[in-house]
Structure 1
Amino acid sequence: MDTIETTEAGLPIVFVHGTRVSGTMWHPVIQHIGGSHPMAAPDLPGHGARRGEPFTIPSAVDAVSEAMDTLGGRALVVGLSLGGYVAIATAARHPDRVLGLVAMGCTALPRGLFSAAYRGAGRAAAAYPEAANRLSAFAFRCTLPHPLAEAMVSGGLSSEITPSVVKAVTDMKPLASLSAYPGPVWLVNGARDRFRRDERAFLRACRAGRLSVRPGYGHVTSLSDTGAVARTVLDAAAVVTAGTDRVPTLEAGR
């Protein structure tokens, strides 16, 4: 696990990565934020340094909890894609420890044709994992700025874990988890992200939620503007640090 500690009194932040990549995907954002906040980006089971371990949502939540422990026990939790779903589950299990939640690219309820396509992609990736890893690396390098693409692949890729991830996510009840969490939530989507399809339902489930939609961006490409992502995280940290119990429920960025 990558942990950046500082003598500053900034709010601790834990970053949670997406499927088949690792905590290194967050390095450009972490570097942009700098040393003002203690930060950690753990590898989830089955990913990065933990490749080969079985993946479940409870074990992933444990990984995030352990990262929070290294930073003092409480933190703002930021996740993208799978990391967003894991962050939501962590907030529901540990509402007293998750001081705020930034959930990016994870406002879809996998069901119907969407769920079938999701499962099919997972089976294909697991059937030919090394080919899927090479294809993923190629896609990252074609669509993302060079530093971000290299951050995506530098911790290793693990496409073989995809079916377990798909099953775990499709078995989740993220709306119930959000409803159970009393803290502030920032839902952030790219306008072209297929995982934003149920964003309004996710927003309604939040007790204190804000939805931001970033024009022109897709699922992973939402990280392309590293500065904008860092500002979103820092703004959320500032709200939590100020002790604001609720954030406005509104849509922004259209």
Structure 2
Amino acid sequence: MTATDVPPIVLVHGTRFSAGQWSPQLRVLEGDFPVAAVDLPGHGARAAEPWSLDAATEIIAAATEQLDRGPALVVGHSLGGYAALEFARRRPELLRGLVLAGASASTKGAWAKPYRWVAGLVPRIPADRLTRWNDRLLRRLHPPEVVDATIRAGYAFHTLPTAWAEVLGRFDADAMRHVAAPVLILNGEKDTVFRSGEREFARAHPDARIELIPRAGHLANFDDPEAFTGAVRRFALHLPAHG
């Protein structure tokens, strides 16, 4: 693959986070790829914007077009993974490859019940208390160079109920049938909830494979940044040439 043919990469963060989630990946990928990390509506620099999958899709599309290198490899984590699935359905002409990280569980049926309960609970807890809990958790589990950008950007607790309300009940393995590009399902080995449907998701697509990050959990890009970034990089370099 020549330097002019490497795919642009768009990174899409997970629930309550922001583009800062991808600081460990950006530091490495920027040397080899055109790359952008976006803030979804209601998150980060877009905190004042109302959440919707429609708006999320347009933000991913705009980032791809601004990179101006053709269809992109879209890497979506958790909420961002489901937004990336919606983008793949609506804007297939802008998708060269898809990495689903922590987003290969059905959001339909009984699985969704505890998440609906959490989404209803979050608005009842003061945001400053949630922020302290999140800051302490991230600092206890990860080194500063991995999580400082996420902590500085703050958390979108106010958006969580609306975002989850739209995603829950909407996605299952059938969503993979709308993805017209190769797919890497990239999960933390210990992320038992969000990798629960990975085999069904992979079977629903003709060009999908599963890769696990050993000993990592749901935040696999924090738990082992080198392994996560390496998996994305390898997948990107093996995508078919555009056109």
State the TM-score, normalizing by the size of structure 2: 0.91
Structure 1 residue 130: Cα displacement: 2.7
**8 Å contact from structure 2 (residues 108, 169) kept in 1:** no
What is the match of residue 176 of structure 2? 178
Partner in structure 1 of residue 105 of structure 2:
108
Which secondary structure does the structure 1 equivalent of 2:167 belong to? helix
Separation in structure 2 between the aligned mates of residue 192 and residue 213 of structure 1, nearest angstrom: 9
Letter matched to residue 18 of structure 1: G
**Taking every aligned residue pair, what percent have the same amino acid on both sides?**
33
Trace 1:137-156 onto structure 2 (pairs within 5 A): 137-156=135-154
| Secondary structure, counterpart of 2:185 in structure 1 | strand
Per-residue CA deviations over 1:175-208 (Å, capped at 9, x if unaligned) read 3331022210000111211211111111111121
Whole-angstrom distance in 2 between the partners of 1:119 and 1:145: 31
> Does 151-160 or 169-178 show the bigger shift?
169-178
C-alpha offsets along residues 85-107 of structure 1, whole Å, 9 cap, x if unaligned?
11111111111211000110011
Aligned to 1:24: 20
Q: What TM-score, normalized to structure 1? A: 0.87
Distance 2:229 2:80 in 1: 16
Instruction: Show the counterpart of 1:96.
Output: 93
In structure 2, relative to structure 1, the CA distance for the partners of 1:242 and 1:33 (3 Å cut) is same
Cα RMSD between the aligned structures?
1.8
Tell me the matched-pair count.
237
Consecutive unaligned residues of structure 2, counting only runs of 5 or more, are none
Name 2:167's counterpart in structure 1: 169
Q: Any stretches of 5+ residues in structure 1 without a counterpart?
A: 1-7, 246-254
Deviates more, 1:17-26 or 1:118-127: 118-127
> 1:27, 1:222 → 2: CA distance?
10
| Distance of 2:190 and 2:121 partners within structure 1 | 24
The AA in structure 1 aligned to 2:218 is H
The residue type equivalent to 1:159 in the other structure is F
**Could you tell me how far apart the structure 2 residues matched to 1:191 and 1:53 are?**
34
1:241, CA displacement in angstroms? 4.9
